[in-house]
Amino acid sequence: MFSGVKAKSLVVIALSSIFLAFGVCNIHAVSSVTEGGTLGASLLLDRWLGISPAISSLILDLICFAIGFKHIGKGFIVYTITSCVSYSGAYAVFEQYPQLWPQIANYPLLAAILGAIFIGVGAGVCVRMGGAPGGDDALAMVISKRTGMNIQWAYLISDISILGLSLTYIPLNMMIYSLITVLISGQVIGLVQNIGKKRIVKDKKATETLVVPFANAKLALHNQVTFKLKILPQEQYFTAA
């Protein structure tokens, strides 16, 4: 049934999710810095209702998967559920102990940068292995499918909604640091996704158009998107991510 699922990938995804949980628990949870998607929503529920992100993130993810079940592959579901369960389990363990750097709340820029690195690396490795650290991917696909809007706009609406609601506990002048985290983490995810995956395109024919596929780092669905390159009159080498 899940013949394409690799045990090694499951282990790597679990470890990257534990790394992610460590960062969120020890940085985001103690500072006025948040994220978009289900990660940000779980922090929001923690502040609003006192529900641990270990519980709320798993519930939110399962709801998103239930909504978008028809739009995502079985392998993606297995990898992503592995990530979600590992993240929730690790967070439940980490929150039993005092946070390592409570003083980081006094340095929001540092918290934003370090938090982005933890999220970017943890989520990026998960994405590279074929999964996703949250159910917002499935939700974004449903929104895109039913409204006809581009997937990136579905993600943007989701993230902006969470960041907007987070203003209920994060002062407006501090929200800039959350935006920094969102921007940096997205770039780190892309870097981790593309490390070692650059392709060299070679062709000797003049004015030929090549179509070069690349994976969407945010979705982690292995869908192929294409762009075009014009080859100059002499032999050229092009590096395409």
Do the beta carbons of residue 121 and residue 192 sit within 8 Å? yes
What's the CA gap between 45 and 57, in Å, rounded? 9
Q: What is the pLDDT of residues 38-67, one digit of tens each?
A: 889 999 999 999 999 999 999 998 898 888
Does the structure show a pLDDT above 90 at 219? no
Sequential DSSP letters for 65-100: HHHHGGGS-HHHHHHHHHHHHHHHHHHHHHTTS--S
> What is the radius of gyration, based on Cα positions, of the chain?
19
Which residue has better confidence, 201 or 39?
Answer: 39
Beta strands in the chain (DSSP E): 199-203, 209-215, 224-230, 236-240
pTM listed for this prediction? 0.75
Q: What is the pLDDT of residue 1?
A: 53
Q: What is the pLDDT of residue 24?
A: 95
Relative to beta strand 199-203, strand 224-230 is: unpaired
Does the structure show a pLDDT above 80 at 125? yes
Least trusted range by pLDDT, from 32-46, 66-80, 126-140, 227-241 = 227-241
Do the beta carbons of residue 4 and residue 100 sit within 8 Å? no
Q: What is the pLDDT of residue 199?
A: 52
What's the CA gap between 227 and 58, in Å, rounded? 36
Residue 147 CA to its chain's centroid (Å): 22
Which residue has better confidence, 230 or 199?
Answer: 199
Number of neighbours of residue 77 by Cβ within 10 angstroms: 18
Q: What is the pLDDT of residue 198?
A: 56
